[in-house]
Amino acid sequence: MISRTLLTSAAAIALAAGAIIPAAAAPNDSAGEALEARFDSMIDPADQVAWLKEMSSAPNQVGSPHDKANAEMQLAMFRKWGWDAHIETFQALYPTPISTTVEMIAPTRVALGGQEPAVPGDATSGNTAGAMPPYLEYQGDGDVTAGVVYVNYGMPDDYDALARRGISVKGKIVLARYGGGWRGLKPKLAQEHGAAGCLIYSDPANDGYAHADSYPKGGARPAQGIQRGSVEDMTTYPGDPLTPGVGATAKAKRLTRETSKVILNIPALPISYADASKIIAALQGPVVTGKERGGLGMTYHWGGKDAVKVHLAVKSDWSLKPVYDVIAMLKGSTYPDQWVIRGNHHDGWVFGAADPLAGQVALMSEAKALGALYRGGWRPKRTIVYASWDAEEPGLIGSTEWVEQHAAELKQKAVLYINTDNPGRGYWGAGGSHDLQHFANQAARPVMDPQTGVSVVERARAKILADHYEDPASVKPWLYKAAKAGGDLPISALGSGSDYSAFFQHLGIATIDTGFGGEDYEGGSYHSVYDSFDHVMKFDDPGMKYGAAVSKVVGRMVMRAADAERVPAHYSDFASTVERYVGELGKLATKQRAKDRELKELTDQGTFKLTSRPDDPTVAPEDKGITPLIDMLALQDAADRLERSAHAADAVVGQLDSLPPATRAKVDAQLRTIDQSLIDPDGLPGRPWFKNLVYAPGTLTGYGAKTLPGVREAIEQRRWDDAREYVKKTAAVLNAYADRLDAAVAAAGTAQ
Amino acid sequence: MISRTLLTSAAAIALAAGAIIPAAAAPNDSAGEALEARFDSMIDPADQVAWLKEMSSAPNQVGSPHDKANAEMQLAMFRKWGWDAHIETFQALYPTPISTTVEMIAPTRVALGGQEPAVPGDATSGNTAGAMPPYLEYQGDGDVTAGVVYVNYGMPDDYDALARRGISVKGKIVLARYGGGWRGLKPKLAQEHGAAGCLIYSDPANDGYAHADSYPKGGARPAQGIQRGSVEDMTTYPGDPLTPGVGATAKAKRLTRETSKVILNIPALPISYADASKIIAALQGPVVTGKERGGLGMTYHWGGKDAVKVHLAVKSDWSLKPVYDVIAMLKGSTYPDQWVIRGNHHDGWVFGAADPLAGQVALMSEAKALGALYRGGWRPKRTIVYASWDAEEPGLIGSTEWVEQHAAELKQKAVLYINTDNPGRGYWGAGGSHDLQHFANQAARPVMDPQTGVSVVERARAKILADHYEDPASVKPWLYKAAKAGGDLPISALGSGSDYSAFFQHLGIATIDTGFGGEDYEGGSYHSVYDSFDHVMKFDDPGMKYGAAVSKVVGRMVMRAADAERVPAHYSDFASTVERYVGELGKLATKQRAKDRELKELTDQGTFKLTSRPDDPTVAPEDKGITPLIDMLALQDAADRLERSAHAADAVVGQLDSLPPATRAKVDAQLRTIDQSLIDPDGLPGRPWFKNLVYAPGTLTGYGAKTLPGVREAIEQRRWDDAREYVKKTAAVLNAYADRLDAAVAAAGTAQ
């Protein structure tokens, strides 16, 4: 353990040298620039269009012949391009529907559900013979007939709104719309509230005609469009439900369906708004108004006490299915045991053209170009690992099982994981480890936006500034400030929803997820039959121009990370981000306490009795007690120390080239896997698989990140003991990170 | 003119006496309380139900037989109840439709328009033989066939959005939805932008199925419901378009239709969303998203360049029609030449049950009870004038012509005007002269909410507090602060839209407008055939319980104002409100300047070019220059002086009873018509009829108030010279008001 006096003195030296510049995140020689220019010249969007068309020509869900064929095609291409490639196979629980039934039986009998119809102008939309009917992976099977309650997004706030109206979902089928939080939380919360079944539909307010013309005229979800998806309880753990923490090899020890904690007990199915509107039109009870109603052209009612009855039945084949991960390597010349890993998945829900294949063909473009460079004599210092994951859709399975299977090796070797998924069109963005914020910006900066010809970073900056002009409240002040300052754009915190989870949140490996967005209509085809080659070509990324931009951004990240003297990081970016998070926690607790007190005061005064509407009677919100003062000093102290340690470390790294190689190696040894110091082996409360104490998917957001989650969620969910405990634990991982920084500074300082 | 030294010393005396209590706004003796109890006992909601049924049994628009019959029935009742009553008749321009045509002729021919159909359960809805077809008073007649542009609310922001897309309304028919600003501004702005015609429809997002079940199942506007209304340019002047500033007597000198500035040149009609949806479904062009789209179950497009063609034709009879104001008086015993005036109108658009008759029958309940008290021997000190106005709907004509005709007398005699219109159900509220804020609260406080049995003031307070709990951003901080403090609730500033305008904004007479709201569905029947007795009984005020509460609140105001030693006012409430307004002006200018600079910077940087969407190309917002610094010192100084003068005057008024009668009379002489000192004889820029420099309807809001309008609107509309001039003029009226306060304090101080 290094003393803080030592640190301060080493930092002072570095500071005096005026050396606070980011570590080399850009190629620092003309050779690097030339390499990148050659790489760019080989990225051909026409390749991507051709591969996309082939790979999305037939249903490619897990276990389908075309999914396997795609894996094998990629394997062959990797090999052709000079990579050392293989397919690694896992056996995962992947139920497939034997029968699915949705029908309204009262007040009138109406058959609902079934496959989406073909539409003119979409060449594959009729090619659904090998597709599954609309389905939710890891729903619970069952056969129920029950009344219906509309639950809006089916999130905790919505159950509060129902409780205030005395409406229970016990024994009912809930009808939830997509949005407001991750899909899997909807049936999970419904089940926790006693529901017998769950239907989820796509409301036109969220991804339909409110945003664009309906497909095929425009990119928006049509009346018959259905969003499939997984409802595995991924906020507990992702991957194969039967093998948490270990690779789902053929011989792995397995839980049973019944003992797995991430599979639902109630049946659930996704439906279209053409179907949902028939149920909604029949519901009675209090009227749903304001933000809780969707965009259908009718009055919404909560239902619950009326004569609407729906029959919902699901029967599935609960057998294991094979998962084909394609793994390809280019061996590093100098540090072969340091791996730069880059992945995207190849399984879709039906044709999966945008999700995931638009990202997959960008990855293949990179692999083709990198292979050509390699064959032409280029040798990256570090080993490059390209992964085409299978079974991301049901639960990030291909990546998770691979990471669990190779965990020990990855902890040693992985220096960076770079992910893409359905990368879209429009504005560049990235999320991940904030010590790589500058690195991500530098990699994106030289890449030109296909539409405007300016740097993708500058176009993204323009978007933040224009949004602020249109509606200042829509842009976070810190984001606006950073955009206006003209330097790096902040990257976002990662929650979940793609293959980085096991790397980032289970092992703590430094991670970047990147892509474009804001000008595509992938939301309108998402997880439906209409996520097709034609939809992508017309509405998402015509000509795969943004696909090419993705390749150029990610290719730079890969080449720079593989070739740099060390993986470039800028620790102050992480420190200042953590400082902001810690500040947010303080505000969260203060605001929640004030809100609790306001509620108590108003309830005591009878305010909610006085404001209950005659035609929509409500009781006061539930009194959940007063949020106590939580001592966060340890966290504030750790953030403060981190800030100073990071500045010192950045200064040292800035002049690393002037140090002798042996010293550099010592410094690098401290920093190379520094992000793993954010891991607590015990993980988060109630979900030990999630071990990163700075970034996690929210248990009640699912995709959305919760930063400093051990503390933040404990406050939000009123687990005060957890909050106090995780203040200490989180402070400890931040101190562990700072220890590494201090040790690096000490190593450099000792040498000088 | 009183010196400020004198003021300060007099104020110091008053302050030292600890006398800062409001002037007597409540009955200060048990006789007063007993009187009010007797009054309450005579307010019978069953009366109101019976009168409402009769008065709303047939169409009662201006010029209709039933409108005249209602006036005559009221005249007879006033007389029966002991009032000195008469009908005063004016002759006003009131065009009536000879023919109205709306039809879509391309891409397909669809007949649109026509009367609203009868619905089951609404007894009068088929009784439309004597009704006008859906119509907009003072539209311009014409026969046009043109393409259509959807303009959302048709407000300035919407034309900015169209301009950014290069869409012109020149020669087109605009299709605007109701909401976002006053009806009359929609065709006015359309005309200013070169449109050939205007259709206005009621979108279900605004008053239809988004809020409740459609009538007759619920109170919301049904698909065929149509909002009629006036499109006279009332922000220039209200009343008869041909006789601005003078009473529209038979012999009055008149403008012609062509020389009147408040009549449109283009044809305009209101339509239902059943009709509008057929046009919207056919429009092409860029997609309308976000807050600019309505709630129909389809994609909205701006139109403008497509094949949709609509034929719109209106031909009207432009003759004068009689206007019947019913005027009734109870003569004052002590101050017969001081008038307390109370009004509501009796003309409707069709049956007018909620608007205006629910307010009219409340007024009649008061008149019946006051008459009985009078017949029983009660003699108010001041004269009470009850007015049942005609022709409010086309342009506040009955009240405006009466006020213009009697202006000289009113300036001398009127001490207070109290208005109601369609008073609704739910939460009590009031607007008007802020020196009467305490008076209004005190009058409402003893009246119990029919639903919860607490004071209507306390229920209104509970609503503010509950709204703040649900969404803090939805409640203005000053309003929340006042509600939480537990004292008087702030009253709002009055814009326009009812009969107080001529009293308040033309003559400066102290005014209160009051009613209830928030739990009725009057928006769903507003200005349609369905504003019926049945709608009111089912959805707006079943049993007229809130009608009775209105009578009790207003009756107290009338009796207290008529019987008090002087009309009770609390000048500090006005002063602190003005202080807030002045503060708002400073913030407005600062914010606008910052926004101007932000726009210029972003435009110079090409930000808007970079963020133009490929499928919805937009150019930068128009550069309107940089808002200069406006010297507001004179205004700030006047507000500051007003604050001190008001405190001193309140102190003096608080101990008025201890002063000799002659002194009291001198003080009262200064204060009785003090609100008229807010009048500038030259009025507001471009609209000299509006003379109150503290309160006005906004030229670009119509109903909504603009406070300190000479300055505020000059800043908003970038008329910098006007802004500078009206800083001085507005300061002058505030100083004139303060002069009166100081003179009152001096009169009291001299006597002591």
Residues A664 and A746 occupy one common structural domain:
yes
Structure tokens belonging to residue B577: 């409100």
| Cα A369 to Cα A634: distance, rounded to the nearest angstrom | 49
Per-residue b or e along B567-576, where b marks 16 or more CB atoms closer than 10 Å to that residue's CB: bbbbbbbbbb
Q: Do the Cβ atoms of B610 and A462 come within 8 Å?
A: yes
Q: Give the amino acid at B22.
A: P
Weakest-pLDDT range from A15-24, A438-447, B25-34, B549-558: A15-24
Using a CB-CB cut-off of 8 Å, the residues of chain A touching B519 are 613-615
The percent of residues above 90 in pLDDT, for chain B, comes to 91
From the CA atom positions of chain A, what is the Rg in Å?
A: 26
> What residue of A is the nearest CA neighbor of B619?
A466
pLDDT, position B16: 31
Residue A703: per-residue pLDDT: 82
- The pLDDT confidence band at residue B172, using thresholds 50, 70 and 90, is very high
**Closest among A101, A98, A117 to A109, alpha carbons compared:** A101
pLDDT tens digits along A701-730: 878 899 999 999 999 999 999 999 999 999
- Residue B747's SS3 state is helix
Q: How many CB atoms lie within 10 A of CB B257?
A: 16
Whether residue B298 and residue A451 make contact (CB cut-off 8 A), yes or no, is no
| pLDDT confidence band for B27 (50 / 70 / 90) | low
Residues A340 and A440 in one domain: yes
Asked if pLDDT for residue A557 goes beyond 50, the answer is yes
How many domains is chain A partitioned into structurally?
3
d(CA B60, CA B69): 9
Q: What is the pLDDT of residue B293?
A: 97
Is the pLDDT reported for residue B15 higher than 70? no
Main-chain phi, psi angles of B610, to 5 degrees:
-70, -20
| pLDDT score recorded for residue A76 | 98
Domain-ending residue, one of B318, B333, B365: B318
* Cross-chain CB nearest to B209 (options A212, A214, A299): A299
Least CB–CB distance from A287: residue in B212, B293, B451: B212
Q: Do A599 and B297 touch (CB under 8 A)?
A: no
**Spatial separation of the C-alpha atoms in residues B672 and B675, rounded to whole Å:** 8
| Lowest-pLDDT choice from A10-14, A83-87, A181-185, A301-305 | A10-14
Which residue among B218, B299, B598 sits closest to A212, beta carbon to beta carbon?
B299
B485 is a domain residue: no
Burial of B498 (0-12, 13-18, 19+ CB in 10 A): buried
Where a domain ends, among B563, B589, B619? Answer: B563
Tally A–B CB contacts below 8 A. Answer: 112
Is B216 a domain residue?
Answer: yes
Average pLDDT over residues A617-642: 97
pLDDT above 60 (res B151): yes
Between CA A597 and CA A605 the distance in angstroms is 12
Q: What span, in angstroms and rounded, lies between the C-alpha atoms of B668 and B656?
A: 10
pLDDT in tens, B70-122: 999 999 999 999 999 999 999 999 999 999 999 999 999 999 999 999 999 99
The answer to whether the CB of B57 falls within 8 A of the CB of B128 is no
Q: A347 pLDDT exceeds 50?
A: yes
Q: Which residues of B605-619 are buried (b: 16+ CB within 10 A; e: fewer)?
A: eebbebbeeeebebe
Q: What is the pLDDT of residue A27?
A: 63
* Cis before B216? omega within 30: yes
Q: Using the beta-carbon criterion (under 8 Å), do B209 and A297 form an inter-chain contact?
A: yes
Instruction: Give the gap in angstroms from C-alpha B562 to the nearest C-alpha of chain A.
Output: 33
Higher-scoring residue by pLDDT: B1, A711: A711
Instruction: Tell me which residue in B213, B452, B605 faces A610 most closely, judged by beta carbons.
Output: B452
Please state, rounded to an integer, the average pLDDT across all residues of chain A: 94
Closest-CA distance, A465 to chain B, in angstroms, reads: 8
pLDDT tens-digit series, residues A176-224: 999 999 999 999 999 999 999 999 999 999 999 999 999 999 999 999 9
- Based on the number of CB atoms within 10 Å of its own CB, is B444 exposed (0-12), middle (13-18) or buried (19 or more)? buried
Same domain as B200, residue B153: yes
Q: For B462, which of A287, A519, A611 is closest by C-beta distance?
A: A611
Q: Which chain A residue lies closest to B518 (C-alpha atoms)?
A: A613
Lowest mean pLDDT among A113-117, A515-519, B676-680, B747-751: B747-751
Average pLDDT over residues B419-446: 97
Mutate to test the interface with A, among B157, B164, B469 (most CBs of A within 10 A): B469
Burial A288-309 (b: 16+ CB within 10 A, else e): beeebbbbbbbbbbbbbebebb
Tell if the CB–CB gap between A214 and B296 is shorter than 8 Å. no
For A520, the 3-state DSSP assignment is coil
Going by the DSSP 8-state scheme, the letter that residue A688 receives in this structure is: T
A415: number of Cβ within 10 Å = 25
**Residue B55 within any structural domain of the chain:** yes
- B17 has pLDDT over 90: no
pLDDT the model gives residue B307? 82
* Strands of B382-389's sheet in order across: B84-93, B320-330, B382-389, B335-345, B414-419, B511-518, B426-432
Q: What is the pLDDT of residue B68?
A: 98
Phi, then psi, of A165 in degrees rounded to 5: -100, 5
**Residue of chain A whose alpha carbon sits nearest to that of B222:** A298
pLDDT at B24 over 60: no
Query: Who among B211, B289, B296 is closest to A211 (CB)?
Result: B289
C-alpha–C-alpha distance, residues A586 and A574, integer Å? 19
- Give the minimum alpha-carbon distance from B592 to chain A in angstroms, rounded to a whole number: 12
Max CA separation in chain B (angstroms) = 84
B251 and B300 both lie in a single domain: yes
Looking at B534, B563, B592, the residue that finishes a domain is B563
CA distances from A276 to A70, A103, A290 (A): 35, 11, 19
Is B520 found in the same domain as B408? Answer: yes
What is the pLDDT at residue A659?
87
Sign of CA dihedral B624, B629, B630, B636: positive
Note whether A100 and A89 are same-domain residues.
no
Q: Flag whether pLDDT at A344 surpasses 70.
A: yes
Same structural domain for residues A661 and A688? yes
Residue B10, pLDDT > 50, answer: no
Residue B483 lies in a domain: no
The residue in chain A having the minimum alpha-carbon distance to the alpha carbon of residue B456 is A610
Whether pLDDT at A5 is above 90: no
Q: Quick one: pLDDT at residue B5?
A: 29
Cα→Cα distances A29→A25, A33, A121, A303, Å: 12, 7, 49, 67
Q: Report d(CA A666, CA A748) in Å as an integer.
A: 8
Q: Which residues of A touch B458 (CB under 8 A)?
A: 610
In a mutagenesis test of the B interface, which of A306, A611, A615 is the best target, namely the one with the most B β-carbons within 10 Å?
A611
Residue in chain A nearest B606 by alpha carbon: A462
pLDDT at residue B703, rounded to an integer: 82
- 3 state DSSP class of A599: helix
CA distance A607 to chain B (A): 5
Say if A703 falls within a structural domain: yes
CA distance A206 to B56: 43
Cβ contact, residue pair A212, B287, below 8 Å: yes
Indicate if A599 and A687 belong to the same structural domain: yes
Question: Which residue among B220, B287, B466 places its CB closest to the CB of A607?
Answer: B466
CB-based contact B387:B78 (threshold 8 Å): no
d(CA B17, CA A582): 53
Mean pLDDT, residues A597-615: 96
Residues in CB range of B551: below 8 A, 6 or more apart:
B43, B48, B362, B363, B365, B366, B369
Which DSSP symbol is given to B539? I
* Alpha-carbon A327 to chain mean position: 22
Cβ neighbours for A428, distance < 8 A, ≥ 6 positions apart: A444, A447, A449, A456, A457, A459, A460, A514, A515, A516, A549, A553
* Tokens, residue A446: 């030289």
- Torsion, Cα A272 A277 A278 A282, to 10 degrees, reads 140
Instruction: Identify the pLDDT of residue B11.
Output: 31
Dist CA B280 CA B190 (whole Å) = 18
pTM above 0.80, yes or no: yes
Residue A750 pLDDT exceeds 80: no
Asked whether the predicted pLDDT for residue B547 surpasses 50, the reply is yes
- What's the whole-number mean pLDDT along residues A33-51? 97
Q: Are residues A88 and A108 in the same domain?
A: no
Q: Which residues from A are below 8 Å from B204, CB to CB?
A: 297
Confidence of residue A12 (pLDDT cuts 50, 70, 90): very low
Same domain as B301, residue B378: no
C-beta atoms of B210 and A598 within 8 A: no
Examine the domain organization and report whether B58 and B101 are in the same domain: no
User: What's the CATH code of the domain at A711?
Assistant: 1.20.930.40
Instruction: Report the mean per-residue pLDDT for chain B.
Output: 94
Query: Which residues form the domain of A592?
Result: 4-17+571-751
pLDDT in tens, A82-130: 999 999 999 999 999 999 999 999 999 999 999 999 999 999 999 999 9
Question: What ipTM score was computed for the predicted complex, to two decimals?
Answer: 0.93
Q: Residue A532 above 60 pLDDT?
A: yes
- CATH assignment at residue B546: 3.40.630.10
Say yes or no for a CB contact (<8 Å) between B287 and A218.
yes
- Per the domain annotation, does A23 fall within a domain? no
| pLDDT tens-digit readout, A255-300 | 999 999 999 999 999 999 999 999 999 999 999 999 999 999 999 9
Q: Where residue B209 falls among pLDDT bands split at 50, 70, 90?
A: very high
Contact between A469 and B602 using a beta-carbon 8 Å cutoff? yes
CATH of the domain at B189: 3.50.30.30
Q: How far apart are CA A619 and CA A161, in angstroms?
A: 10
Q: Which residues on chain B place their C-beta less than 8 Å from a C-beta of chain A?
A: 204, 209-214, 218, 220, 287, 289, 293, 295-299, 449, 451-452, 454, 458-459, 462-463, 465-466, 468-469, 519, 595, 598-599, 602, 605-611, 613-615, 621
Structure tokens at A649: 């470390």
Residue A513: per-residue pLDDT: 98
Q: What is the pLDDT of residue A9?
A: 32
Distance, C-alpha A460 to centroid of its chain: 20
Structural contact between residues B653 and B23, judged by C-beta atoms closer than 8 angstroms? yes
pLDDT at residue number B613? 93
Q: Does A598 sit within 8 Å of B468, measured CB to CB? A: yes
Nearest to B649 by CA among B579, B572, B578, B574: B572
Put simply, the answer to whether A458 touches B299 (Cβ < 8 Å) is no
Buried b (16+ CB within 10 A) or exposed e, A352-381: bbbbbbbbbbbbbbbbbbbbbbbeeebebb
pLDDT reported for residue A36: 97
Mutate to test the interface with A, among B284, B611, B618, B623 (most CBs of A within 10 A): B611
Instruction: Judge whether A25 lies within some domain.
Output: no
**A89 to each of A72, A79, A158, A223, how far by Cα in Å?**
12, 18, 42, 38
pLDDT score, position B2: 25
Quick check: is B486 in a domain? no
Cα–Cα distances in Å, from B558 out to B339, B422, B573?
10, 19, 21
Q: Please state, in angstroms and as integers, the Cα–Cα distance from residue B249 to each residue in A232, B236, B260, B388, B420, following that order.
A: 79, 21, 17, 18, 25
CA–CA dist B303, B149 (Å, integer): 5
Residue count of chain A: 752
- Cα atoms found within 13 Å of the Cα of residue B248, Cβ hemisphere only: 29
- Helix (H/G/I), strand (E/B), else coil: A635: helix
Report H helices in A127-203: 156-164, 185-192
Per-residue confidence at A654, pLDDT binned at 50, 70, 90? Answer: confident
A657: pLDDT strictly greater than 90: no
Question: Any idea which of A70-74, B657-661, B721-725 has the lowest mean pLDDT?
Answer: B657-661
The per-residue pLDDT for B565 is: 82
Residue B614 has pLDDT above 60, yes or no: yes
- Domain identity same for A275 and A132: yes
